Structure 1
Amino acid sequence: MVATLRIAEHIADGTTDVDKLAAAAGCDQDVLHRVLGHLVSRGVFAEPAPGQFALNEAARGLLDPALVLGLDLDGFGGRMAHAWGSLLTAARTGRPAYDTVFGRPFWADLDAHPDIAASFDALMGPAGHGEPDPEVLLDGDWDAVRTVVDVGGGTGTLLAGVLRARPATTGILIDLPRTVARAAGTFDSAGVAGRATTPGGSFFDPLPAGADLYLLKSVLADWPDAEAAAILRRCAEAVSRTGRVVVLGGVTPGAAAGESDLLMMVLLGGRQRTLAEFAELAARAGLAVTASGRQPSGRYVVECRPAPTG
């Protein structure tokens, strides 16, 4: 609640009395006072005088825009928080139960609420995850890469970074029309608009063919095995015989359990996958894992090439 109401920001701007904080945040003074009192007892915020609040080390974390994006109950953070209420239904049915909370499946809900969709895009972009590392290849060998296709690349943040770091490359961003429509500003800001194209479309449909590198960042974990294999198959159909499909996120070298795995199950029916599970999925799609490992940033990367035929 205090993240949504930007209480830490108001205090940082000099508003410390609870009555003025409530007025600035547009909320009830008594409720805010009681909530802040509870947080003070938990070590978040300080109350140097009755009814007067200050930031402490823990509360200063609420000045981080990335943290606030994830906690803002008016945005996608609120969707994630409430979606946990469907965990029992997901456990009983083995299917995502997001629609039991919000009335629509996940992607349909975003389509119906542009403000929530924009919040989701922001959380997935630099504001939520920082500037993406453009060094997406494990071996750093870019000599043969002329065209990069970012599959399900959102508003183009990763692709913009890749193109900015590699002036000899061109890029194609594939995502739904409502999403790629917001990519123009990303490419303009990065100074790469002349080398990026944005044909709106689904990654379940045929992809632009013949490129040297197809990127899948934070895509496959959103989907159950059948859909994830279908996305990989589209990449396998499109990639040049000497090209690569690079997966960033959604694959781990060992056990894949964790909160993010459960969240993907609740929201979408997706999952994190071990390297062995992913390799089996890739083989079904006509791809072979040729390299995997962690980059200096800690990001785990998997590279695939078209599987030998005959």
Structure 2
Amino acid sequence: MSEINFEKLEALSDLCTPWCLHTVGTLRIADHISRGINHIDDLAKATESNAYALLNVMRHLVSKGVFEETEPKQFGLNDVSRGLVESPYRPDLTGIFGRMAYAWGTLPTYVKTGESGYHEQFGLPFWEDLAANPDVGKSFDDLMGIAGHGVPDPHFPITGDWDSVKTVVDVGGGTGAMLAEILRARPHIHGTLVDLPGTAARSAEIFQAAGVSDRVTVSGQSFFDPLPAGADIYLLKKVIGNWPDKEKKEILRRCAEAARPSGRIVIMGGVTPDEESHHLSIEMVLVGGKPISLSEFREMAHEVGLKITSTWQHGGFLVECQPI
């Protein structure tokens, strides 16, 4: 009989460590230590916590190599915990990171049904929850925008050249980070941002900072409704993979309607080469979304009146379509 690695199994199934990390991240413990507050009593006072409970959390994390206990009940940072200081990716139970953390508890529903169980935890489906909780919605927008992902690369390939492109509609473009860079790089283009009203309203600052406000139209709406028609390019960046197949098809249908007769749809993210395998992601748990292979996408696109004209690898897999 083969040996069983119980130690590795226990380590992989341990929920204590990630929850301790999320807790100290939420309390900004590393930030306090970096400012010289390092005794457990002072840390508890600064974070309005129970000293005994916090001590047990800190000592667990010390045992995992996250902090150092420099003297009894006094803690210091090391090469791991310094990553928790003022970091946009620190584990956190507030805002969108908190939603993600708790959403993993609905994974059994996703595995059983292939659909998101997010509403079981938060009372509403993901997108409706963001709309009903503006603070969480804003933290999601920050994660998707420049603050979370850095300045996007607008130099992605298209068929032909950009000189002939006069108008771009960024469908589901969040707070406009990508569209702002496209317009900044190409002063002859006018852009339209399409996203839900609360998100779209937060785009003004980004467009103003990029110096492109005079060339942008903002349409606060659902992309399941008719889209602004007649543009040269309709961009779907990290949109398709966030939805189940039924919704994917409806989004593509709306793009096809708006792009006729001569516009193009560029999909960045959510479509993969046929040979690429798919792996579990937080998007699957939050919204039941999934990437789609190129062959599956070709069939879906045809059903809504689109044909694939080009594909590229450019920091990810890109697909360009045109109305049939």
- The TM-score, its normalising length taken from structure 1, stands at 0.91
Quote how far apart the aligned CAs of 1:64 are.
5.8
Residue 126, structure 1, aligned to residue 143, structure 2: no
Quote how far apart the aligned CAs of 1:287 are.
1.5
Counterpart of 1:193 in structure 2 is 213
Residue 50, structure 1, aligned to residue 72, structure 2: yes
Matches within 5 A, 1:38-187: 38-63=60-85, 65-68=87-90, 71-138=91-158, 141-187=161-207
| Cα distance in structure 2, aligned partners of 1:227 and 1:276 | 18
Counterpart of 1:23 in structure 2 is 45
Counterpart of 1:275 in structure 2 is 294
Q: Secondary structure at the match of 1:154?
A: coil
Quote how far apart the aligned CAs of 1:141 are.
2.0
Q: Secondary structure at the match of 1:270?
A: coil
Ranges in structure 1 where 5+ consecutive residues have no aligned partner? none
1:126-162, CA deviations, whole angstroms, 9 ceiling, x for partnerless residues? Answer: 2222221112325682111111100011111111111
Which residue identity lines up with residue 257 of structure 1 in the other structure? H
Which residue identity lines up with residue 290 of structure 1 in the other structure? T
Contact 1:292/1:301, CA 8 A, preserved across alignment? yes
Counterpart of 2:9 in structure 1 is none
Select the structure of larger CA radius of gyration.
2
Ranges in structure 2 where 5+ consecutive residues have no aligned partner? 1-22
Q: Please point out which of 254, 273, 276 is paired with 1:255.
A: 276
Which residue identity lines up with residue 12 of structure 1 in the other structure? S
| Cα distance in structure 2, aligned partners of 1:64 and 1:141 | 42
1:80-111, CA deviations, whole angstroms, 9 ceiling, x for partnerless residues? Answer: 11112112122333322111111111122112
Quote how far apart the aligned CAs of 1:29 are.
2.0
| Cα distance in structure 1, aligned partners of 2:303 and 2:201 | 33
Matches within 5 A, 1:217-232: 217-232=237-252
Q: Secondary structure at the match of 2:26?
A: coil
Which residue identity lines up with residue 302 of structure 1 in the other structure? V
| Cα distance in structure 1, aligned partners of 2:297 and 2:59 | 48
| Cα distance in structure 2, aligned partners of 1:277 and 1:58 | 42
Q: State the superposition RMSD in angstroms.
A: 1.8
Counterpart of 1:303 in structure 2 is 320
| Cα distance in structure 1, aligned partners of 2:49 and 2:72 | 19
What is the count of residue pairs matched by the alignment?
Answer: 301
| Cα distance in structure 2, aligned partners of 1:203 and 1:227 | 10
Q: 1:123 to 1:140 in 2, by over 3 A?
A: farther
- The TM-score, its normalising length taken from structure 2, stands at 0.87
Contact 1:16/1:52, CA 8 A, preserved across alignment? yes
